[in-house]
Structure 1
Amino acid sequence: MSAKPTNKRVYTVDLMRFSAIVLMVIFHFIYDLKFFGWVPSEIPDGAGWREFRYVILTLFFLCVGFSLAAVHGGKFKKKHFVKRLIQLILASAAVTLSSLIMAPQNWIFFGVLHFIAVASLLCVGFSGFPKTALIVGIAIIVVYNLGWVSGVWPFQPIRHLLPGYTNDYVGLFPWTGVVLIGIWLAYQAWFLNDPAKSFPRSKIVLFASKHSLIIYLIHQPILFAIFGAISWSLSV
């Protein structure tokens, strides 16, 4: 059963986004421990870790789709969309620039924030059409898993200009499909009724959810600075 998207906060979405943030910090914490040589680990591409990352991305991108529908489902709000898009583009540029400085061999050319910016452009037109969004979203995931389209599309023609391995990559296939399913989710009465409505509201959850972009940008530099300082002090 479908309903109209709501502008009211759905605490379930806040919990989903908060969970993604916590899992992301854990993921990067372990990654950094491996980077500094303190623990043996197959993160980020070893068995289990890849799936761990998929859980994080799924939670984030369902929330992206939900937000697109909640904001633009009734009427496209150009000013809001452009402002958010500019924020994402600037944040993406910062990620790319910092990766070129810190890991020039594995610099990030299309990571999470790059993907969200492009997926927002591609998916906002579906924000008022939940059934179509669901069908197209499932189709994108299916054709990817059938091997009919590459996960590195549309970068194949310039692959020789890009790093052989990048520290963060999110393909338009299949992940755009998850954003579209998030749009569909924003119209489902059972979800808008807020499955987590009986949970006590946590100020920490709400704060993290509202400021997820800032947290995404600063948590890894903070972790690196802490671990770098510890590593330096141990070597003195």
Structure 2
Amino acid sequence: MYRGTMPPPMASTPRFARLDALRAGWMLWMAAFHFCFDLAHFRLLDANFYTDALWTTQRTAILSGFLFWAGLGQGLALQAGQPAARFWRRWAQIAAAAALVSAGSALMFPRSWISFGVLHAFALMLPLARWGAARLHTAALLALALACALAPAWLQHPLFDSRWTNWLGLVTRKPITEDYVPLLPWLAPLLLGLAAARSAGLRHWLQGSAPLGLVRLGQWPLSFYLLHQPVLIGVVLAFIHATRAAGP
């Protein structure tokens, strides 16, 4: 594949139970993180999610994991001969969801709405991975991942500070937004996942068994991502309403 050839298309792409389970674990971690964020937003929890290392480190780990799993999944799909049409159907869902997130965040956070968050990043990175990075030799792929990780510290410029250009990641200051996942440095973990998919030992391990509940949950990451926050916010608002109604 990374030598310029592609496997023949298959009728369906096989699933890897342990990859689905790992993804589900990250989804549950993300939901717990966002629940705490919602509590802090409604002043039910004293926490600063923008500067406190307890929360910023978790965000980095959660996001890095999702991008790594995405790169790993894309690499496995390519090796299995996933048809381009299936990829583009999934891509269209992600792109539409990204637009929905931008619109919804503009209503809830008009001063810090999401112009380039995690779904926007996926919509940009996945085609780059499939039709670009996936054709590189593993050494070049790893070198590119390292360059992506280091580039923001080397090449930042005020030109990239606007909403029209900050998606690249070479900003001199973090934009005011509720979610910001620029191409650089966040393409790096996705590229590492793409490289990891070439390990025969890892592929064999991922085909092993895993808890069915996690496997099933891990097969619906986009739906979970779109629905979990409205549900969590609804729970928090219901709790606030019930507390006020029960008060003196």
Report the TM-score when normalising by structure 1. Answer: 0.85
Root-mean-square deviation (Å): 2.8
Instruction: Give 3-state SS (helix, strand or coil) of 2:205's partner.
Output: coil
User: Contact (CA 8 Å) 1:153, 1:171: kept in 2 or not?
Assistant: no
Which residue pairs with 1:170 in the alignment? 181
Instruction: Give 3-state SS (helix, strand or coil) of 2:210's partner.
Output: coil
Which residue pairs with 1:191 in the alignment? 202
Distance 1:153 1:216, change over 3 A: farther
Aligned positions, number: 228
Out of 192, 197, 221, the position equivalent to 1:181 is 192
Q: Distance in 2 between matches of 1:77 and 1:17?
A: 23
After superposition, where does 1:16-27 map in structure 2 within 5 Å?
16-27=22-33
Which residue pairs with 2:239 in the alignment? 230
After superposition, where does 1:90-105 map in structure 2 within 5 Å?
90-105=96-111
User: Contact (CA 8 Å) 2:159, 2:165: kept in 1 or not?
Assistant: no
By how many angstroms is 1:127 displaced?
2.4
Instruction: Give 3-state SS (helix, strand or coil) of 2:155's partner.
Output: coil
Q: Distance in 1 between matches of 2:43 and 2:104?
A: 21
Establish whether residue 52 from structure 1 lines up as the match of residue 58 from structure 2: yes
After superposition, where does 1:127-138 map in structure 2 within 5 Å?
127-131=134-138, 132-138=140-146
Deviations 1:203-225 (A, max 9, x none): 21111110011000000000111
Report the TM-score when normalising by structure 2. Answer: 0.82
Q: Distance in 1 between matches of 2:128 and 2:200?
A: 25
Moved more, 66-75 or 17-26: 66-75
Deviations 1:118-153 (A, max 9, x none): 111221122243513222112211333xx1134998
Distance 1:137 1:73, change over 3 A: farther
By how many angstroms is 1:112 displaced?
0.7
User: Contact (CA 8 Å) 2:19, 2:206: kept in 1 or not?
Assistant: no
Distance 1:25 1:74, change over 3 A: closer
What are the ranges of 5 or more consecutive residues in structure 1 without an aligned counterpart?
none
User: Contact (CA 8 Å) 2:149, 2:186: kept in 1 or not?
Assistant: yes
Which residue pairs with 1:210 in the alignment? 219
Which residue pairs with 2:128 in the alignment? 122
By how many angstroms is 1:104 displaced?
0.8
Supply the AA of the counterpart residue of 1:122: L
